[in-house]
Amino acid sequence: MQHLVDTTDFSDIQIAQLLHDARTFKAQRPPQLLRDKLLITLFFEASTRTRSSFEVAAKRLGAAIVHLDPSRSSTKKGESLEDTFANLCAMEPDGVIIRHTDNDAPQQLAQMQMTSVINAGAGNYAHPTQALLDLFTLTEHFNGQIKNKTIAIVGDIVSSRVASSGIRLLTRMGMNVLLVAPEPFMPQSDLPQYEHLEDVLDRVDVIMSLRAQLERHASPLFDDYAEYAKHYCITKERLKERNILILHPGPVMRNIDISDEMLDDPRCKVLEQVRNGVYMRMAILKLLLLDSSH
Ligand code: CP
């Protein structure tokens, strides 16, 4: 039984297989490879992209999917996460897809070894399927040649599980990662750190912009996000004609993270990331439920 708690659970060969399968699924209508499989989702935090992307991916491959809404579940009566999970596993799913505020929740459930656990975002620690879909988007754009390309991660890095998983995966794949943020948003890290976006614009191939994760701040870090935007918003005025790919995991805070104008610019791949997310999640489901289950 294989789990996906973070991308470190996958070997280099498996990551290459995921990229190959995602490309194949994007190029041609996939067969119903998972038609006898059942998945359950358990999202303790809000989601637009990840939950629906997993559902579309599962259905495109013929799998059934059931959603448990924790806000209307017996966790409200005091049932623990472990007991909730064990009861769902008694229904014999082939995998449980979990999003949780707690960094350790997916690992704790994976250790119970009852079904394959797929991390759909945990605290500020890991969001492996986002990292893998971003890797897919980057390899497509650069025709597989991402080694030694430079990416700047910009924004609320310290709160971001997208940044945590992305840094681990993209450095492993040979990319140079720079961090750009005001001091309250900067994590402890050995990576090069910058306060000013202007200092990196002439040497990056990619910018990954991140939302200020207000829901994770114990108290507001900035009084005024318009002031933050003056320094960190990705605008056409700031980018000029530079050939820089713009990524963002969503949801985008318009005109704070990225300007309206840049969101419509062909360099901005936000919706392509969402499109690629379905194909990468199809590849992940195939790997976990079919290829590694023998
Ligand atoms: N990228 C991402 O995790 O988006 P959602 O929170 O909408 O799932």
**122-168 pLDDT per residue, tens:** 999 999 999 999 999 999 999 999 999 999 999 999 999 999 999 99
pTM over 0.85: yes
Boundaries of every domain in the chain: 7-126+277-291, 129-273
| Whether the CB of 130 sits within 6 Å of ligand 1 | yes
| Whether the CB of 47 sits within 6 Å of ligand 1 | yes
| Whether the CB of 48 sits within 6 Å of ligand 1 | yes
**Helix locations, 90-127, DSSP H:** 105-111
Report CA(9)–ligand 1 centroid distance (Å). 21
pLDDT of residue 194: 98
Distance CA 18, CA 262 (A): 30
pLDDT of residue 218: 67
Q: Residue 214 pLDDT > 90, yes or no?
A: no
Please tell me if the domain spanning 7-126+277-291 has the same topology as the one spanning 129-273: yes
pLDDT of residue 262: 98
Choose the weakest-confidence range: 88-92, 134-138, 214-218: 214-218
pLDDT of residue 287: 98
| Whether the CB of 255 sits within 6 Å of ligand 1 | no
Ligand 1 atom closest to 249 (CA): 1
Q: Residue 284 pLDDT > 80, yes or no?
A: yes
Q: Contact at 8 Å (CB) between 45 and 100?
A: yes
Report CA(106)–ligand 1 centroid distance (Å). 17
pLDDT of residue 220: 66
Report CA(119)–ligand 1 centroid distance (Å). 12
What six digits make up the tokens of 215?
Answer: 């829901």
pLDDT of residue 227: 86
Q: Residue 65 pLDDT > 90, yes or no?
A: yes
Q: Contact at 8 Å (CB) between 178 and 131?
A: no
Q: Residue 294 pLDDT > 70, yes or no?
A: no
The pairing of beta strand 206-209 with beta strand 193-194: unpaired
pLDDT of residue 23: 98
Edge-to-edge strand ranges of the sheet holding 176-180? 193-194, 176-180, 150-154, 206-209, 245-247
Q: Residue 215 pLDDT > 80, yes or no?
A: no
pLDDT of residue 212: 82
Q: What is the sign, positive or negative, of the torsion defined by CA atoms of 187, 188, 192, 193?
A: positive
Q: Contact at 8 Å (CB) between 281 and 57?
A: yes
Distance CA 186, CA 190 (A): 11
Q: Which fold has domain 129-273?
A: Rossmann fold (3.40.50)
CATH number of 7-126+277-291: 3.40.50.1370
Distance CA 10, CA 16 (A): 10
Q: What is the residue with the minimal CA distance to atom 3 of ligand 1?
A: 50
| Whether the CB of 176 sits within 6 Å of ligand 1 | no
Distance CA 156, CA 266 (A): 24
